[in-house]
Structure 1
Amino acid sequence: MVKCFRKSFSLSDLWVTSHERLSDFYLTSWQRGDSAVPMLVLRMLLAVITMSIFVWSIATSPTPYWLIYLTNWGLLLVTLLTLSATLVSLLAVCQRIPDGGPLPWYVSMYWLFYNTTITVAIIITGLYWILLYNPEQEEEDDGFWLDLATHGFNSCVAFVEIVMSRTPLRLLHIYQPLGVGLWYAAFSGIYYAAGGTDGMGNPFIYEILDWRQAGRASIIVAVSAASLIVVYALLWGVTLCRDRVSTSLIRTTSLELPFVPPDRHSPSGMV
């Protein structure tokens, strides 16, 4: 569930180690009851597809340069998200997730990937189709379908995971995707300063992030960071709407009510 406002918070709220209901990480918002199977089936399907795209991308460009592109960082994050999500759902079905206490490490790992990936995936999609896509080059390289998979399906996975799951999104966690974005910007600058090139020998990874023109590159980084913050806030709003709608219309809220002892004055409470 989304936390709109709290008078106070602990340091644990800044990280991914505590949450009120563990079931929020393996149940879908659009189900009654407490079966973890529906979300497991969906997550297994997404994991198979993302793994296939991951292998396809590496097989198409089996060089060390694969590691320098933000697109491939995003693809790796999406793959890790679907695999960690599947692990959480599988352990929930097998009843291996303990109740009470701090979140298990694999749930915290999934939550961290969720916080970072859903925002970064959408930003990557937007940056590519707005700033980098070149139809003429796609016709020459015949790489349109791979680009569509790596710059389109990543956002589809993010959207499905947001809408279908109950995974919480906290405003306090905005530093996690922002940290990934800023780390990539720093990496691209360090890579340039160290004399790194792209696969064709150019002294940059992306032409729009050419640090020989530091002013323009800095503007691109600043605009991208601001866009990431806006996207995260919008996703927080989507999560809020998802929880309110599904709780009022779909979810079996009686499963979440605390146990109340019977009234001693009622017939059922008499000894």
Structure 2
Amino acid sequence: MIKKIKDEFSISDLWVSSNERTSDFYLMSWQRGDSAIPMFVVRLLLSSVSVGILIWSLVVGASPYWMIYLTNWGLLLITLLTLSGLLTSCFALCKKIPDGSDLPWYVSIYWLTYNITISIAIMITGLYWILLFSPALAAEQTAGAFWLDVTTHGFNSCLAFVELVLSRTPLRFLHIYQPLGVGVWYAAFSAIYYVAGGTDGMNNPFIYEVLDWRQADRAGVIVAISGASLFILYTVLCLLCLARDKLSVKLIRTTSLNLPLTPPDQHTPPGVV
């Protein structure tokens, strides 16, 4: 029994270095054939939008505090996801990426970013609209600032969701530690930033009011609830990927062969019907 489990599971499965089919990383779920063009076009559009949003955020909201916010970490992650995906599709167009036990470095970077970004982007959207959004403060914003907030806390998860639904990239439950690790990393960063005397752009001794480490118990509860929510979200996304693959294989990724209705009888004399 133990030997069977060892045969089915290896330490390499915990990392992003191997997969049964390399084509999973550059083919679209909802296509026939093995052309890399459909997913290349999708990723070209996604990367253009993500880079545009990132530039917009840097131009409008650039400040010494830009990097302390989880929202902007999410912007960098979604930009890295779309660009690494585009790079993978470009390599697939230029040359056939062979199947094998070891994935090319650019595919591993894309897969790692994919595992982290898909759930983190959706979490950022949920946390903002549930915990941080204030209609009163939104009414005081300029139109540009309001729409930038909507874009950075809404479009980020939309881009991630499109990549999830249209691609064939697997989302393995074993990789759940990757987005959870980023979440823990940010929580630790916010605590260290507070201890070091860091402030937000309005000189408050916290990055987000709901994550105010002067009230460590409340901040700890927020971190714990967020971690549990991320665990649940990642599980749901894994199931969604499984449903995506099952449905696309059943409805789209099928082959039909044009076979003759009845093969000719080799014993029938020529000219006889």
CA distance in 1, matches of 2:93, 2:197: 50
Q: Quote the residue 1:38 is aligned against.
A: 38
What is residue 198 of structure 2 aligned with on the other side? 196
Aligned residue for 1:202, secondary structure, equals coil
* Residue 154 (structure 2) pairs with residue 152 (structure 1): yes
Shift of 1:208: 0.2
How far residue 252 of structure 1 moved from its aligned partner, in angstroms, is 3.7
Q: Say if 1:48 and 1:248 are closer, same or farther in 2 by CA, change over 3 A.
A: same
Match of 1:215 in 2: 217
Question: What runs of 5+ residues in structure 2 fail to find an aligned partner?
Answer: 257-265, 267-273
Whether the 8 Å contact between 1:43 and 1:86 is mirrored in structure 2 is yes
Q: Any conservation in 2 of the 1:33–1:252 contact (CA below 8 Å)?
A: no
Go from structure 1 to structure 2 and tell me whether the alpha carbon gap of 1:253 and 1:209 turns closer, same or farther (over 3 Å shift). Answer: farther
Q: Segments of 4+ in structure 1 off by > 2 A?
A: 5-8, 96-101
Using the TM superposition, give the Cα deviation of residue 97 of structure 1 relative to its aligned residue in structure 2, in angstroms. 2.7
Matching of residues 103-122 of structure 1 within 5 Å: 103-122=103-122
How far apart, in 2, do the equivalents of 1:6 and 1:138 lie? 55
| Corresponding position of 2:53 | 53
8 A contact 2:194–2:206 mirrored in 1: yes
Which residue number corresponds to residue 258 of structure 1? none
Q: Which amino acid aligns with 2:173?
A: L
- How high is the TM-score relative to the length of structure 2? 0.89
Q: Could you state the TM-score of these two structures normalised by the residue count of structure 1? A: 0.90
Show CA shifts across 1:39-94 (max 9, x none): 00000001000000000001112212000000000010000000000000111011
Larger radius of gyration: 2
Distance change >3 Å, CA 206–CA 194, structure 1 → 2: same
Structure 2 Cα separation of the partners of residues 137 and 56 of structure 1: 21
Partner of 2:176: 174
Instruction: Deviation per CA, 1:121-168: give whole Å up to 9, x if none.
Output: 010000000000012212222221101110100110111011100000
- Which ranges of structure 1 fall in alignment gaps of 5 or more residues? 255-266
The answer for the alignment partner of 2:20 in structure 1 is 20
